[in-house]
């Protein structure tokens, strides 16, 4: 294992975050705070409680997941896309470093940024509503697993994209709508039975449900199923990344 190479990629990507602190950290925190204020004030005045939890408190895990998902994809996709765009990817591919180590460097940095951001947003939410985390270990487990999984997914998007439009197409047109429709601001159990069945085909539901369970011990689906779906998506992303490096898809031409 070439730890020096992994460290070089990791530190370079983390340094880019500190250079763009306003965009990387401050902007997502402010945006999430606005979501919290607007949804908490507008809807919270009409829905006082959801499954025994005040509405303002109920939406906190959904807001954290919303930010972690979008930022994991964004950080990882931009991180690998710019070396392709600038042509420096060939220097990395020709260096004495394996594909596995390249992925660890880029995905590790993207996941680290997302986890830090998620914890900052969680602390910020604590300024608005009282928070209680029933299972802190499981909360961190879901947070780390989600950040790593969607950083891998973002890494795939960054390799697939051949322009800035494609780089933002999947997050904007697919991931964000799925997150909003995945129970970020409501419980799936509040939906009519037909819509509830359709919603269960949304993979984001399982992420948010498991994460919310770690706070309040309430969930739309079982915790085991949430973990299983997240792990399955992680494995699928790993298989795709392995295929990309084995075939050189959009890397060697």
Q: Give the residue ranges of DSSP H helices in the chain.
A: 3-19, 21, 27-42, 55-58, 60-86, 89-94, 99-125, 136-160, 164-170, 176-180, 193-199, 203-216, 223-247
Position 150 in a domain: yes
172 belongs to a structural domain? yes
CA distance 136 to 122: 12
Residue 17 has pLDDT above 70, yes or no: yes
Confidence of residue 238 (pLDDT cuts 50, 70, 90): very high
Specify if 239 maps to a domain. Answer: yes
Q: Is pLDDT of 252 > 80? A: no
Note whether residue 252 is domain-resident.
no
Dump pLDDT digits (tens) for 98-119: 889 999 999 999 999 999 989 9
- For the segment 159-179, what is each residue's pLDDT rounded down to a tens digit? 998 888 888 888 888 888 888
pLDDT bin (cut points 50, 70, 90) of residue 156 is: very high
pLDDT at 194 over 90: no
In b/e form, how buried is each residue of 106-128, taking b as 16+ CB within 10 angstroms?
A: bbbbbbbbbbbbbebbbebbeee
- Model confidence at 11, pLDDT cuts 50, 70, 90, reads very high
Question: 43, exposed or middle or buried, with CB in 10 Å at 0-12, 13-18, 19+?
Answer: middle
Q: Is residue 253 part of a domain?
A: no
pLDDT reading at 40 higher than 70: no
The count of structural domains within the chain is 1
Q: Does some domain include residue 165?
A: yes
68: containing domain: 3-247
Contact criterion met (CB below 8 Å) for 120 and 83: no
């Amino acid at each position: 294992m070439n730890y020096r190479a992994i460290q070089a990629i990791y530190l370079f990507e983390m340094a880019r975050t500190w250079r763009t602190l306003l965009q990387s950290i401050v902007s997502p925190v402010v945006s999430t705070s606005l979501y919290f204020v607007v949804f908490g004030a507008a809807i919270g005045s009409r829905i006082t409680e959801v499954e025994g939890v005040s509405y303002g408190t109920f939406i906190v895990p959904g807001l954290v997941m919303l930010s972690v998902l979008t930022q994991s994809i964004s950080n990882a996709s931009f991180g690998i896309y710019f070396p392709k765009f600038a042509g420096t990817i060939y220097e990395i591919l020709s260096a004495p470093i394996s594909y596995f180590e390249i992925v660890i460097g880029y995905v590790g940095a993207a996941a680290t940024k997302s986890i830090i951001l998620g914890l900052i947003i969680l602390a910020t939410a604590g300024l608005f509503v009282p928070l209680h985390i029933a299972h802190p270990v499981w909360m961190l487990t879901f947070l780390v697993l989600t950040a790593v999984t969607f950083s891998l997914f973002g890494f795939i998007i960054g390799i697939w994209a051949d322009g800035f439009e494609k780089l933002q197409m999947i997050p904007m047109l697919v991931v964000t709508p799925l997150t909003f429709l995945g129970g970020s601001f409501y419980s799936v159990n509040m939906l009519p039975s037909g819509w509830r069945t359709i919603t269960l085909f949304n993979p984001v539901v399982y992420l948010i449900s498991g994460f919310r369970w770690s706070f309040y011990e309430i969930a739309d689906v079982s915790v085991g199923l949430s973990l299983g779906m997240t792990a399955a998506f992680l494995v699928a992303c790993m298989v795709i990344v392995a295929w990309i490096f084995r075939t050189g898809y959009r890397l060697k031409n």
